[in-house]
Chain A
Amino acid sequence: MERVYRTHILVCAGTGCVSAGSLKVRDALVREIEKHGLEEEVMVATTGCNGFCAAGPIAVVHPDGIFYKRLNVEDVPYFVEELLVKGRVVEKHLFAEEERNELIPVMNDIGFFKNQVLVALKNRALIDPDVIDEYIGRDGYVATSRALTEMSPGAIVEEIQKSGLRGRGGGGFSTGLKWKFCMETKGDVKYILCNADEGDPGAFMDRYILESDPHAVLEGMIIGGKAIGANKGYIYVRAEYPLAIQRLNTAIAQAREYGLLGENILGSGFDFDIELYYGAGAFVCGEETALMQSIEGKRGMPRPRPPFPAQKGLWGKPTVLNNVETYANVPQIILRGSAWFSSLGTETSKGTKVFALTGDVNNIGLIEVPMGITLRKIVYDIGGGIKNNRELKAIQIGGPSGGCLPASIIDTPVDYESIIKTGAIVGSGGMVVMDDSNCMVDIARFFLEFTAEESCGKCTPCRVGTRILLEKLKDITEGRGKDGDIEILETISRNIISSSLCGLGQTAPNPVLTTIRYFRHEYEAHIYDKKCPAGKCKALISYIIDPEKCTGCMLCKRNCPQECITGEKKTPHVIDQTLCIRCGLCYESCRFNAIRVE
């Protein structure tokens, strides 16, 4: 019989909260609780990421599920005194929504959490990822036991196919169909691979799934192994994810100890084991054939398909590769049935999708939403709107393979088909919200800088084409844009898309094409008027002091690193434009709103 506790304090130990100091808070809580002699009745545990990273370090207190934000070591004695000795809700650390201007104690009443639907993240913040028994307590490994002892490979594949699950890594290919192809290929040795080589800037979905619920991914792979007839799996995980790797290693060791990995799992006669392979951080290795080359010890470069991996994959053997989030969905589908899963989402996009919501929204973090939810609901109901009361300008979805969607199409539902129509892709789940201070040409330049750097160099259109795009975009943002540049960008983009071998090149021009499609006027302003409407591109702006508003306080003069501001005390100052480097320090320091950007 396990011990009964009156209170569980679940401290978030996702990477976000850990870097904000959550483990120190946990240690302080444990010490303080011992000081009060309450260790027998209060449990302090760590869980994976809650998703609400902006509010970290986070703790959720059960029963009642009270959500506490921004904890710190100094407040721990007060926190323990109030919460555990006096039995009160600690208001100081409750969450408040700005517009409602009231404290919201219960986790599931907070807009950020209330509007989410958890499938892949169902265990987040509810279990300690390092304790396999807690995972089992929430129906863990039931799906595995069912798949291994009651279902034939064909039945598993059929269930996954019927559920409508599609690849969550970006492609959106039917998972069931992929498994079916591999199941039908003859071969003694087959492999099941998990793609945890998450590379999009600002995206951390897979990282947090691995950190908060590693066993769900292992289960998905075991079930996949049984379905296609593989006895060996590899997780290709980025070496830059130390916490995810550590938790995966712990999870694999525990699963082996319980015989949930290894020979004759649960007495079913099925053998399966999983190994980690550390990726060195090349973006192209997220592409399936490049990833397999990398595991084989070769340079990570894509190869032409066919043959598809389902016929000839890793070491020439039939192979299935799925993304972390895809696997995390699998046990839920086996457990609750394909009909349940396909009841979530839209006609063609079933289930939920995890997004890393970031940028200029109030609530930054990791969210899981049903397919078909509108961008508006994500930005305003979950994201809590735009920071500092600014205007929404664009939403970048799909990372360097995706596109920038303007505020005017914010009612677009998020599903594979609707998003493709806009010129972006759902992608692996990066979602960057941008306010009106962002320059769209500059954003396109940023992403092209990334893809030009990460192009593996195999296909000339991608290797050279992304460079040309980047140079053109640099010219435009630095004031050297010429008539006809937009058309050149469009032509080269189309050529890269049509003649690159892999997804990297086929999608790399998307940020350029979508920004031209929705923000052409900004390109034109840069090229013809030599102006940056957002005031971002340094070569195209100048800081000007309004003599009417300037009080001559001399603050900007003191801050200017170029010493190019002149003027006597109490008389209007002037910026020497020939020396100014447009660092913006004067603009930020002025207290009288007397400096404007032109």
Chain B
Amino acid sequence: MAKLTIEDLKKIRQQAQGTVTMREGSHRAKITVHMGTCGIAAGARKIMDAFLAEVSRSGGTDVVLTTSGCAGLCSREPMATVEIRGSAPVKYIDLDEAKVKKIFEDHVLKEKPVTEYALVQGSETTY
């Protein structure tokens, strides 16, 4: 490893941003793939992999991807929820890899929800 310049330092910092964002909770967008038994059976793993590939490909460091259990609507799995900081979460249903690509490009990157794939906007009330 050659000696760093100030530019190199900035580059390393940029590259580590994804890790930092994840741990600080300072992400702009969060994608949750629902991976209950129903989701897994309907192919949520493929959806998960597709999102992972999209996040890697985009090189964005402000997006986190995570999983959760069943969202309660087992017949419309695989499902995922996309949350942009400051706006209501959107639940997407009946996903496949092509839909993932579009959702990622439009909603996650450009912050425009893909209404035709969406089930609903918002979340249930919790106590």
In the bound complex, how far is the Cα of B24 from the Cα of A10, in angstroms? Answer: 12
Contact segment of B48-56, B97-105, B106-114, B119-127: B48-56
Residues of chain B lying within 8 A (CB to CB) of residue A264 = 3
Q: Which of B5, B25, B35, B36 contacts A64 (CB 8 A)?
A: B25
Shortest distance between the CB of A223 and any CB in chain B (Å): 15
Q: A63-B64, A266-B9 are in contact. Are A260 and B4 (CB under 8 A)?
A: yes
Q: Contact: B52 with A266, CB < 8 Å?
A: no
A218 CB, nearest partner CB in chain B, Å: 14
- A7 part of interface (Cβ distance < 8 Å): yes
Within 8 A of A (CB), among B1-23: 1-6, 9, 12-13, 15-20, 22-23
Answer yes or no: A258 CB below 8 A from chain B CBs: yes
User: Considering the complex, which residues of chain A in the window 54-94 have a beta carbon less than 8 Å from any beta carbon of chain B?
Assistant: 62-65, 84-88
Q: How far is the CA of A453 from the CA of B47 in the complex (A)?
A: 67
Please tell me which stretch of A130-138, A380-388, A491-499 contacts chain B, meaning at least 4 of its Cβ atoms lie within 8 angstroms of it. Answer: A130-138
Cβ-defined contact, A65 with B67, below 8 A: no
A109 to chain B minimum Cβ distance, whole angstroms, is 12
Chain A residues with CB under 8 Å of B18's CB are 2, 4
Q: In whole angstroms, what is the CA distance A84 to B40 when docked?
A: 12
A149–B3 contact, CB under 8 A? Answer: no
B-binding segment of A139-147, A319-327, A551-559: A139-147
Judge whether A86 and B4 touch: CB under 8 Å. no
**Residue A257, interface by CB 8 Å:** yes
Do B9 and A145 touch across chains, with their CB atoms under 8 A apart? yes
Tell whether A126 pairs with B69 under 8 Å between CB atoms, given A2-B19, A264-B3: no
Q: How far is the CB of A395 from chain B (nearest CB, A)?
A: 33
Supposing A63-B25, A87-B68 touch, asked if A136 and B35 sit within 8 A by C-beta, the answer is no
Asked if B86 lies at the interface with its beta carbon under 8 angstroms from chain A, I say: no
Contact residues in B for A64 (Cβ distance below 8 Å): 25, 66
CB proximity of B108 to chain A, nearest CB, Å: 13
Indicate the member of B19, B59, B64 with the most A CB atoms within 10 Å: B19
Bound together, the chains give a CA A490 to CA B9 distance in angstroms of 58
Q: How far is the CA of A292 from the CA of B56 in the complex (A)?
A: 52
Q: Number of residue pairs across A and B with beta carbons under 8 Å?
A: 104
A3 cross-chain contacts in B, Cβ below 8 A: 56
CB of A584 closer than 8 Å to a CB of B: no
The reply to whether B25 and A86 form a contact with Cβ atoms under 8 Å apart is no
Question: Do residues B6 and A267 form an inter-chain contact, with CB atoms below 8 A?
Answer: yes
Asked if residues B36 and A41 are in contact (CB atoms below 8 Å), the reply is no
Q: Assess whether B27 is interfacial by the CB under 8 Å rule.
A: yes
Contact partners of A137 in chain B: CB under 8 A: 12-13, 15-17, 19-20
Contacts of B6 in A (CB 8 A): 145, 149, 266-267
User: How long is the Cα–Cα vector from A154 to B83 in the complex, in angstroms?
Assistant: 48
| B interface residue count range (under 10 / 10 to 19 / 20 to 34 / 35 or more) | 35 or more
In the assembled complex, the Cα of A259 lies from the Cα of B2 at a distance in Å of 8
The reply to whether the CB of A6 lies closer than 8 angstroms to some CB of chain B is yes
> How near does chain B come to A272, taking the closest CB pair, in angstroms?
13
Which A1-59 residues have C-beta < 8 A from chain B?
1-8, 10, 41
B53 CB → nearest A CB, Å: 9
- Assuming A6-B66, A41-B48, A63-B66, is B4 touching A258 (CB within 8 A)? yes
Chain A stretch 215-267: residues in CB contact (< 8 A) with chain B: 257-260, 262, 264, 266-267
Given contacts A4-B65, A63-B25, contact A259 B35 (CB under 8 A): no
B30 within 8 A of A: yes
Q: How many Å lie between the Cα of A257 and that of B1 in the bound state?
A: 6
- A8 contacts B23, CB within 8 Å? yes
Chain B residues within an 8 Å CB radius of A262: 3
CB–CB B16/A258 < 8 A? no
Shortest CB-to-CB span from A539 to chain B, Å, is 55
CA distance A296 to B23 in the complex (A): 44
Q: Is the CB of A41 within 8 A of B52?
A: yes
A84 to B17, CA, bound (A): 23
Chain B residues positioned under 8 Å from A267 (CB to CB):
3, 5-6
Residues of A within 8 A of B59 (CB): 1
Q: Is the CB of A136 within 8 A of B9?
A: yes
Give Cα A4–Cα B68 distance, bound, in whole angstroms: 18
Q: Is the CB of A136 within 8 A of B67?
A: no
Q: Which residue of B lies closest to A37 (CB)?
A: B45
Given A63-B30, A136-B12, are A258 and B3 neighbors across the interface (CB < 8 Å)? yes
Tell me, rounded to whole Å, the shortest Cβ–Cβ distance linking B84 to chain A. Answer: 15
Q: How far, in Å, is B42 (CB) from chain A's closest CB?
A: 14
Neighbouring A residues of B68 by C-beta, 8 Å: 87-88
A8 to chain B: closest residue by CB:
B22
In the complex, what residue of chain A is closest to B58 when comparing beta carbons? Answer: A4
B14–chain A nearest beta-carbon distance, Å: 9
Taking the nearest CB of chain A, how far is it from the CB of B105, in angstroms?
Answer: 16
For the complex formed, measure the closest distance between the CB of A91 and the CB atoms of chain B, giving whole angstroms: 13
Measured between beta carbons, the chain B residues less than 8 angstroms from A139 are 13
In the complex, per-residue mask of A110-143: 1 if CB is within 8 Å of any chain B CB, else 0:
0000000000000000100000011011111110
Least distance between B15 CB and chain A CB atoms (Å): 5
Q: Is the CB of B23 within 8 A of A62?
A: yes
Please measure, in the bound complex, the distance between the C-alpha atom of A6 and the C-alpha atom of B19, giving whole angstroms.
10
- A1 to B56, Cβ gap below 8 A? yes
Distance (Å) between the CB of B70 and the closest chain A CB?
9
**Complexed CA–CA distance, A134 and B24 (Å):** 12
When chains A and B are docked, how far (Å) is the Cα of A147 from the Cα of B99?
A: 49
Q: Which 9 A-B pairs give the minimum distances between C-beta atoms?
A: A137-B16, A259-B3, A87-B67, A63-B64, A6-B65, A87-B35, A4-B56, A4-B55, A137-B20
Provide 13 A-B residue pairs closer than 8 Å at the C-beta atoms, listed in order of the A residue. A1-B59, A4-B52, A4-B55, A4-B65, A6-B66, A7-B67, A63-B25, A87-B66, A137-B17, A141-B9, A259-B3, A264-B3, A266-B5
A63-B25, A86-B36, A140-B13 are known; give 14 further A-B pairs, CB within 8 A: A1-B15, A4-B52, A6-B67, A7-B66, A62-B23, A62-B25, A63-B22, A63-B66, A65-B25, A87-B35, A88-B68, A137-B20, A138-B16, A262-B3
